[in-house]
Every structure is written in C-alpha cells, then in structure tokens.
A and B are shown apart, each in its own frame.
Chain A
Amino acid sequence: MAEPRFNTERHVKYYLRCLKTFLPTLYTSNDSNRMLLAYLTLSGLDVLGVLHSKTTAEERQGYIDWIYHCQVPSGGFRGFPGTDFGLESRTTENEVWDPANIPATFFALVNLLILEDDLERVKRKECLQWLPKVQRADGSFGEVLGPGGRVEGVRDLRYCCCAAGTRYILRGKAGKGLEDVEDIDVPKLVSFIGACQTYDGGMAESPFRESHGGHTYCAISSLDFLNRVSNDVKSVPLLSFGSKENEALLAWLVSRQTAKISESELDEDGSDTQDEQSIDTIEADSRISALPDIQSISADTILYAGFNGRCNKIADTCYSFWNGATLRMLDRYSLIDGDSNRRYLLEKTQHMVGGFGKGIGDPPDLLHSYFGMVSLAFQGEAGLSQVDPTVVTSKRTVQHLESLPWWQ
C-alpha cells in the first residue's frame, strides 16, 4: 500500500482558484457568508504557508480594503456587501436592514490579522459597545440587531464563540483605552455555556438540545477566548481537569471517532430486532444470553477512522477538526487515534483536484477543505503551519495580533 500523501501542490492550486476566480454559481446560497468564505480561503493559503508568496502586496492591500468596505458605519462588519445600500441612502430608519453581524465581525477581524493589517481602521470602540447589545438576558448571543433593537437569530453557541472571539481580539489583555466601554456579561455567558452540556457529556447548541461536535467546539473556544484575556474563567468545571464535567466531555469527544465512514456501514453491527418485548428481570438473563457475542475488532477494520458530529452518525471531514480542536484546547489531543484519522482524511476525503470533500467521493468545498487540512496540521503534517486551535489561524497570525498596541 502506497504511503498516503498530503498533496500540497494540488491544495495550493485549489485555494488559489478559490481566491482568484469566481466561486461556482452553487455558492449563491452562501452569499451572506462571504466573509466566512474569505476566511476559509485566506487562512487556507496561510496555513499552507503560501499566502505571501502567491499574492502581491498590492493584492493583499486590495483584500484589506474590501474587508473594510464591509465595515458598518456604526461599528462591526456585515457578512457580505449585499446588504449595503450606500452611505448616501443610509438613514436611522433603514440601517436596521444593513446590520453588523456577529460571525462576520469575528471573521473580518481574523481576515485582517491574517493579512497583517494593523486594525487601525477598525471602529474598535463602536464595535465593543455594540457587542453587549447583542447578548440576551440568558447570557447567549444573537446574530444581528433587528427592528427595535431586538436581538435576532437562533439561540446557539456559534454566536457565543464569535462574540467571545471578537471581544478577545479587540479588548486585548489589558483592555487599554476601554475603561468607559461597557463589557459583555461574562459570568452569564459562562453559565449559559455550562447549561448546554447534555446528559451524555457533549455540548448542544442550547440547553437540552442534542450534543453536537460543532457546538461543543464553540462552547470550549468561547471559554478559551474569555480565559485568554482574563483569569476569572479558569475554575469553570468544564475546563477543570478531573472534574465530572470535564471527564464526561472527554469521554464524549473520544467517542466521536468512528470507523463507520459510509452510510452502508451504519446499521452493520447486527442483532437489531424490531420486535419489542417488555423486559422482565427473570427473563432478561435468558434473553441476554441468547444475544450473539460481539467479535473482537481487528486492526484492518479500523484503518480509516474519522469523526462524526453526533452519536450514531457517520464520519465527516469537518468533525476531525471540531472534535480534534476541542481536545487540543483541553490539552488531551493525544487521546485520539491520529494514524487512522490521517488515513481517513488523506485517502478517503482528500480530493484529486485539491481540497477535501465532506465524505467519501464528495467534491471539495471551502469549508471541508480548510478543516480537513487543519486537522492534519494538528497532527504535524509536513508542509503545514502550526495552527492555534481557538483562533483557528496560523500561530504567526496570533503573534501578529499580540503585537498590536492594546495587547502590550
């Protein structure tokens, strides 16, 4: 069997195509997420270590200008230029239809950092003043402010993570020059996150929903963002080594790794019976003895093991990242089986034209390409930069952030 290989040249080509030519029409339904797509492209090239060699200083300045073009006059960023009806048409009555957007603001700031911008043109104070307005009474965050200043958007941990990330970038370690700016309610946010842990140990988008790898990532990265700029979050049980919450979370995270990588394998473990009988203790023994013994699992059946996002689902490229990055933040990445994850990504979802697909045989897309690659970067794949699991950019980019004036 040929040694699996990370095809650097093909991936560079894939990303350059995404950067320099139009994305296919199919992406129209992702128009509102262009700031996120921009992040996946720029950060992809940065993690591949070629952003600066494959783009000119002039181009990078042009990209920076486009990101600022998406800044809303009242602070924060829009997700795409599509809501902008022009400064001359903008009034206090209609600006609600062109609002700053929580995830877009985070990704815009990260994009500027990747491009080594100094964030001088960011309306820093205005943005930080807007953040607490998008926080709900229960501590969670919405996506945008709607008519009447109402917090709009679903109640879930993605927005918490992007809000905490924005605060981290713009507030910095010392919060210099922000003495008069009201902060978000950190204890309430922490409580909300804690309440999202479910009975099986994972984290759900909101309390009592089903545990989910993406939201679990968002929960822990929110806490980590809060932690990095202040020390008051360290004692949260979820992050405390040896606590019940932490142990349950670890057990749930490692259980996401699975050799079930296509739908046909899902119900394979047999002995399903449709007939339901009421159980009675005297009978239970004989009914259990009648069950088939499970077979020991041989090494060749678990050569390829990716991660799923929820219990009893099949593997999907991006969950190698969501679960893996969470384990990295918890400093427990060594608990996964790295070899079988690497083989799954390189031999099953890496695409021959470059990029990664969601599952076996799927065409590449920006999201799965980036997260597949970052998962490999966590495992030290040659040719990839080191990636910070919380900001999810190269460590270079985080160092650049820490060199900004309010971080001193």
Chain B
Amino acid sequence: MEEEHSYANDPEWASVTPIPLDDGSDSGAMPLATIAYPPEYLEATSYLRAVMAANEMSERALKLTEDVISMNPAHYTVWIYRAKILFALDKDLIDELNWLNGVSLKYLKNYQIWHHRQVLMSSRTHFPTLPPKELDFLMEMFAQDSKNYHVWTYRHWLVRHFQLWDLPQELDDTHTLLKADVRNNSAWNHRYMLRFGPRDAAEPDAGLANAGDMTTSTADKGRLPVVDEELVDAELKYAQEQILRAPENRSPWWYARGVLHAAARDLEEWEGFVGMFVGDDGAVKSSHAVEWLADVYAKSAGGERRPRAVDMFTLLKEKYDPIRKNYWDYRIRMLDQVAV
C-alpha cells in the first residue's frame, strides 16, 4: 500500500497542481550534477514546491515534508517549512521529537536533523525545562557513534540553553563515555566545556574562556577571570588517572595543558609527574611526556636547558614520532629564535 502511494492518485491531493522540476534544459541550459532521481522523489518534490508556493500550513503538507525528508534529509528549506507548520498548527512537539529520534538513528551524519531539534527545543513555551528523556536519547545516539559531531554540538547547546552546568548527569555521562573509551576526544572536549566554559547566559557563545576580541592580548586569551583552584587540581588529577590507563592517548595530555592554561599555571607544574615517564636510561613510557618535557625545557630561563630540549625533540624525531620528523626539526630550529 505504502509503496504504491502516488500523490497524483490520492484524493487528498486532487486540488493541488504539482510544479515539476525546472532543471533549465528547456531554456537551453545544460544541467550539472544531474542525479538519477527515483520517480517517487520527483513526484513528492513537485508537490512540495506547489504547497510551498501556496504557503500552505496543513496536515497534508506536514506529511509531505516527512516523505521528502525520508528521501533527502539534507534538504535545507523543507526543515524550515516543517518547523513553521508545526508551530502554525500547534502540534505536539513531544510527538515530533519521538519521530525525530527514529530519523536521527537512521541518518547519523546529518546537520539539519539536529538543528531542527534545536529549533523546537528553543521554544520556551513548549519546553520551559529539559524534557526528562532528552539526555537518555543522546546516550542512545552515542551508543551508535560516541564521537558524533552533530550530537555533541546539540548537547553543548542544551547545556547552555537549560543551564545544565552542574547537573550531575552531564559529568556522569561524559565520564561513562570516557570509561568505555578513554580516547573519546569529543567527551574530553565536552568535559572541558562543562568545567571551564563561560556560564554567562548573556554571552552564550564566547569561545575559549575570555577569548576576547582583536584587542585582547595573547597572554590573556583563554585565561579564566576567576580561578577555582580546587576544581583545577581535581581536573589535573583526573587527567593523570586517565593518562595512566593509556599513556599514548593524546587527549588527556592536551586536556591537562588546557586546564593549566585556563588557570594561568605553567607546564613546569607537571615536570615531576611527566618526568616519571621518561627514564634516564632512555626508556620511555609515553611520547607525549617527551613532548611535554621538551616544551618545558624550551622555555627555560636563560636557555640553559635548551640542549635538553634538543635531546627530547631528537628522541621524538628519531624514535617515537618519526611521522612528524619535519615538525620536530622545525621545533629544534625555532629554539634558536625564541627570545630569551
């Protein structure tokens, strides 16, 4: 039944004159990127053009958008049109979310689906607070792909929109995902945002803490205006624990660098911890520790530890990270140019 559906034969659509696709060939143009469209798509979109041209806000138009979305979820106006109909007809948005869940699980890599969800969720009238099952559904999405960029973008937006900074489930879910895969850089990034993101609702999109503008000095950029030293210590400890689980995992090493920078504390602070990964006998437990030491030595006052920085860069270049040979050579050359 469903497969044989044709708008042309459907009494519900009898009053509508479809607008066929005008690909320009009638006027002598030669269409580019032509696609072997299935006939169902050509028919559905010809009715879509007709209802859009009439600005029709109706149940049948809503159903039609669903049909078009099932064949082309990246169509950029059909989603805006659908959202407008939903609000115009005062539809139950929870039903819409339930439908969207299925679409989201089917098309994992799609921007529009998640933006549509955000548009709905932005309605304070419909969603004065976070709907109870929302975060659980996101975990269901992460079970499919725990690094799905669109889902993380949406989750980030949810945190800001509903001020979920201190909701225990936020940090717990992030921790659960890191427990399952300590290399999940998306989860690390989300944790950083939860811990150090600016919470000022008036300035929802400031970047790095205190990203500033063109006049902000490089040194101040990314520094927190007020530092909670206990929180910083706890996060550094968390990073150390995760480093011990997989010392070659880059994510927690860079997380720790970010934490130190936000708190205006130096890389030197970790020199003791990091040093334990690099033995005097040349035995190394993590290449990221070698890089960390190199950075500490490179900045040393008076340049006295510069030769040791060269040793570290050379270790990386020759033994532990030869893919970046050219980069380590560059770092060695740059040592001479650092103002001391």
| Pairing of A with B | yes
Chain A residues with a Cβ under 8 A of chain B: 18-19, 22-25, 27-35, 37-38, 41-42, 59, 62-63, 65-70, 79, 81-86, 89-90, 93-94, 97-99, 101, 111, 138, 143-144, 146-147, 152-155, 187, 190-191, 194-201, 204-212, 235-237, 242-245, 250-251, 254-255, 257-259, 266-267, 269, 271-274, 276-279, 284-285, 287-289, 291-294, 296-297, 299, 302, 305, 310-313, 332, 334-337, 340
CB distance from A92 to the nearest CB of B (A): 11
Known contacts A29-B71, A236-B214; is A269 also within 8 Å of B240 by CB?
no
B101 at interface by CB-CB < 8 Å: no
**Could you list 30 A-B pairs, sorted by A, with CB under 8 Å?**
A23-B34, A24-B35, A25-B36, A27-B35, A28-B35, A28-B71, A33-B74, A42-B32, A83-B52, A86-B22, A97-B52, A187-B214, A195-B207, A198-B208, A206-B153, A206-B205, A207-B208, A209-B153, A244-B218, A255-B250, A272-B182, A278-B241, A288-B285, A291-B244, A294-B285, A296-B318, A296-B319, A305-B323, A313-B147, A340-B323
Partner of B213, one of A191, A335, A337: A191
CB distance from A312 to the nearest CB of B (A): 4
* A255-B184 in contact (CB<8A): no
* B214-A191 in contact (CB<8A): yes
Q: Which residues of B contact A340 (CB under 8 A)?
A: 323
B161 at interface by CB-CB < 8 Å: no
Complex: how many Å from CA A337 to CA B222?
31
Complex: how many Å from CA A93 to CA B318?
67
Contact code string B7-35 (vs A, CB < 8 Å = 1, else 0): 00000000000010111100111111111
* B323-A30 in contact (CB<8A): no
* B254-A311 in contact (CB<8A): yes
Complex: how many Å from CA A196 to CA B153?
13
Q: Which residues of B contact A278 (CB under 8 A)?
A: 237, 241
B104 at interface by CB-CB < 8 Å: no
* A194-B207 in contact (CB<8A): yes
Known contacts A79-B76, A81-B22, A294-B287; is A66 also within 8 Å of B193 by CB?
no
Known contacts A81-B21, A82-B45; is A195 also within 8 Å of B211 by CB?
yes
CB-CB contacts below 8 Å: B28-79 with A: 28-38, 41, 45, 49-50, 52-55, 71-77
Minimum CB distance partner of B45 in chain A: A82
* B245-A276 in contact (CB<8A): yes
Complex: how many Å from CA A135 to CA B337?
40
Complex: how many Å from CA A271 to CA B284?
13
B305 at interface by CB-CB < 8 Å: no
Partner of B147, one of A19, A284, A310: A310
Complex: how many Å from CA A38 to CA B72?
18
CB distance from B248 to the nearest CB of A (A): 4
CB-CB contacts below 8 Å: B200-233 with A: 205-208, 211-214, 218-219, 221-222
* B53-A146 in contact (CB<8A): no
Partner of B76, one of A19, A32, A90, A271: A32
**11 additional A-B residue pairs with CB within 8 Å, beyond A18-B33, A195-B208, A305-B323:** A32-B76, A38-B33, A146-B80, A191-B214, A194-B212, A199-B222, A208-B197, A271-B247, A293-B283, A293-B284, A297-B323
* B323-A212 in contact (CB<8A): no
Minimum CB distance partner of B222 in chain A: A199
Partner of A288, one of B147, B218, B277: B277
Q: Which residues of A contact B183 (CB under 8 A)?
A: 266-267, 312
Known contacts A23-B34, A299-B322, A312-B183; is A272 also within 8 Å of B245 by CB?
yes
Q: Which residues of B contact A190 (CB under 8 A)?
A: 214
* B76-A101 in contact (CB<8A): yes
Complex: how many Å from CA A28 to CA B247?
45
Complex: how many Å from CA A196 to CA B206?
9
Best-surrounded residue of B30, B45, B153, B244 (most CB of chain A within 10 A):
B30
* B185-A22 in contact (CB<8A): no
Partner of B193, one of A32, A59, A208, A302: A208
Known contacts A143-B76, A191-B214, A293-B284; is A62 also within 8 Å of B208 by CB?
no
* B246-A208 in contact (CB<8A): no
B257 at interface by CB-CB < 8 Å: yes
CB-CB contacts below 8 Å: B311-326 with A: 318-326
B327 at interface by CB-CB < 8 Å: yes
Minimum CB distance partner of A333 in chain B: B326
* A311-B251 in contact (CB<8A): yes
* B77-A144 in contact (CB<8A): yes
* A94-B54 in contact (CB<8A): yes
Q: Which residues of B contact A237 (CB under 8 A)?
A: 218, 221
Minimum CB distance partner of A232 in chain B: B214
* B80-A195 in contact (CB<8A): no
CB distance from A114 to the nearest CB of B (A): 11
Q: Which residues of B contact A291 (CB under 8 A)?
A: 244, 247, 277, 285
* B32-A41 in contact (CB<8A): yes
Minimum CB distance partner of B284 in chain A: A294
* B323-A65 in contact (CB<8A): no
Known contacts A94-B52, A243-B218, A312-B250; is A293 also within 8 Å of B80 by CB?
no
Minimum CB distance partner of B238 in chain A: A279
Known contacts A311-B185, A312-B183; is A294 also within 8 Å of B320 by CB?
yes
Minimum CB distance partner of B119 in chain A: A152
* B84-A147 in contact (CB<8A): yes
Complex: how many Å from CA A199 to CA B37?
45
* B222-A41 in contact (CB<8A): no
Complex: how many Å from CA A38 to CA B28?
18
* B35-A208 in contact (CB<8A): no
Complex: how many Å from CA A207 to CA B222?
12
